[in-house]
Amino acid sequence: MTIPSQLNQNQWYDMHNQKSDFDSCQRILEALCGHTKMRYGMIRKKDGRKWGNWCVYDYHSQKIVNKNSEHYVKIYQEIRKGFSPIYIDDTEQCSVDEWTQVLHEFGLKSYISYPIINKNNSIVGHLSFMNAEPVHFDPIKLETLLPVCSDLIAIDFKTIIERRNTRKKLEQELNYSKNRELVLSSLAHDLNNPVSIVKVISQYLGENIKDESQKNLIKKIQEASSRVKGVIDDILDFSSIRLQDKLIRINDHYRMDALIKQILSEFEVLHNRALIANINLPVDVPCDHQKMGRAFTNLIGNAIKHGNPFQNIEINAFIQKENFIFSVTNEVSYPQYSDLKDLFKPFVKGVNSNGLGLGLFIVSEIVKIHKGKIAVNLKDNKITFNLMIPIDSTTVVQ
């Protein structure tokens, strides 16, 4: 028999390059080839009105062979005319001359074919086995074994089709999601500059206008523009993370105490809130300081937004066992979430929140990028966020 060119199993894929779809069928062919002593096993699959070789297995080499070989297609087309099982253990004793002639043409002496039927009693494929030498087998035993294998393959066909459809839908949804994020990011970029200009102008007017009624109006403009700017920043950070922005310089060592103090002073001026800070940082921290600054801002902003406005907010920053620790503690007057784990999911908002629910998700993603951890715990109406980043303790601040 002319043997077609063989492919290594790891190089053999279906039309979607998903080899795993065929693993179970291959194992069935391997088992049946071993049982029948046939060298080649083949599964043909019906797709609509079309038939194709689904899987062809060479038992001697223990490999998948070229499933689109014309040899197998011609053998199948010439012999498989009906839907009844075919058992030919020796062509010399075959009563159908046409079958004998086709098998002899390809150097075959033994052949088996069995229909694959689904639960609706429709033909969805065929099992075929062939060998160059006569192989004597017991058709009665095969009539017990092959129906079970046929049912398993029919179920596998259905599962594979469902899996492919699910995979296709997921790929489409991923593409839609990515396109939505690109549009959202582009829109945020376009809005960023105009909103920033409004914010700067309102700050300038607030410092130079004396009329109290006008000052109150300008203050409202400042607050509104700050909220919009915060939403835009969240969208930009979210898009940057989701689109796998690689412009993150984690290897830069930075003075975190100066960064934290700057952020605290901005919050105290803007929100007129008492922030109790305990900062003890004798070392530089390897990080992207802009991303980390965003994480600090989001954590403190979250405490101001959702915390008790009449209670202080406590911020701690220190080094512990070669880790940089940043924690924010504030009192809450009512439960914010049924599950604290939900806090770090995107678009999860607290009670009476006007934001997008991205702030803490962005913090958690920034921490992941820095190979750190973030945790939250609630005790006696006080919620604490603990951010931990590993550092090189040899980098001491002078």
Q: Dump pLDDT digits (tens) for 197-227.
A: 887 888 788 888 888 888 888 888 877 887 7
Amino acid residing at 218:
I
In this structure, which topology does domain 174-243 adopt according to CATH?
Answer: Helix Hairpins (1.10.287)
Classify strands 123-131 and 110-117 as parallel, antiparallel or unpaired. antiparallel
Which range has the worst mean pLDDT, 61-70, 97-106, 346-355? 61-70
> Two tokens at 3?
């043997």
- Residues of the chain within CATH 3.30.565.10 domain(s) are 256-390
User: Which region among 10-14, 186-190, 394-398 has the lowest average model confidence (pLDDT)?
Assistant: 10-14
In 3D space, the residue among 390, 376, 369 whose CA is nearest the CA of residue 237 turns out to be 369
CA angle 306, 311, 317 (to 5 degrees): 80
pLDDT on residue 72: 61
Q: Point out which residues pair with 391 in neighbouring strands.
A: none
Least confident of 36-45, 159-168, 342-351: 342-351
Nearest to 332 by CA among 311, 352, 353: 311
Every domain of the chain with CATH number 3.30.450.40 lies at 22-137
What pLDDT score was predicted for residue 68? 53
**Parallel/antiparallel/unpaired status of strands 313-319 and 275-280:** parallel
Least confident range from 232-241, 307-316, 334-343, 370-379: namely 334-343
- Enter the tokens of residue 83: 């839907």
> Is the pLDDT assigned to residue 8 strictly greater than 50?
no
**pLDDT value for 300:** 92
Domain with CATH 1.10.287 in the chain: 174-243
pLDDT for 387 equals: 96
Beta-strand runs (E) in 59-139: 63-64, 86-88, 110-117, 123-131
The CATH number for 256-390, chosen from 3.40.630.30, 3.90.1150.10, 3.40.50.10860, 3.30.565.10, is 3.30.565.10
Indicate if the pLDDT at residue 239 is higher than 90. no
Give the Cβ contact number of residue 34 at 10 Å. 11
pLDDT tops 60 at residue 376: yes
User: Comparing 142-151, 246-255, 303-312, which segment has the lowest mean pLDDT?
Assistant: 246-255
Q: In this structure, what DSSP letter does residue 9 have?
A: G
**Looking up tokens 């899996």, which residue turns up?**
163
Cβ(397)–Cβ(283) below 8 Å: yes
- On the question of pLDDT at 191 being above 70, the answer is yes
Q: Residue 72 and residue 129: Cα distance in Å, rounded?
A: 10
Q: Is the pLDDT of residue 7 over 60?
A: no
- On average, the pLDDT of the chain sits at 79
Bigger pLDDT: 24 or 364? 364
Regarding predicted confidence, which is higher, 86 or 347? Answer: 86
Task: Enter the CATH code of domain 22-137.
Answer: 3.30.450.40
Examine the pLDDT at 251 and tell me if it is beyond 70: no
pLDDT at 18: 47
- Nearest one of 60, 70, 59, 55 to 4, comparing CA atoms: 70
Query: What is the 3-class SS of 360-374, one letter each residue?
Result: HHHHHHHHHHCCCEE
DSSP assignment letter at 4: P
Q: Could you tell me if 128 and 112 are in contact, meaning their C-beta atoms sit under 8 angstroms apart?
A: yes
* Rounded distance between C-alpha atoms, residue 204 and residue 224, angstroms: 15
Contact between 89 and 137 under an 8 Å Cβ cutoff? The reply is: yes
Q: Looking at the predicted structure, is the pLDDT value of residue 196 above 70?
A: yes
Both tokens of 203, joined, read: 């700050």
- In terms of DSSP bridges, do strands 86-88 and 110-117 run parallel, antiparallel, or are they unpaired? antiparallel
What is the rounded CA–CA span in Å between residue 14 and residue 92? 37
Are the C-beta atoms of 360 and 302 separated by less than 8 Å? Answer: yes
Contact between 47 and 164 (Cβ < 8 Å): no
SS3 assignment, position 53: strand
Residue with tokens 């979430």: 337
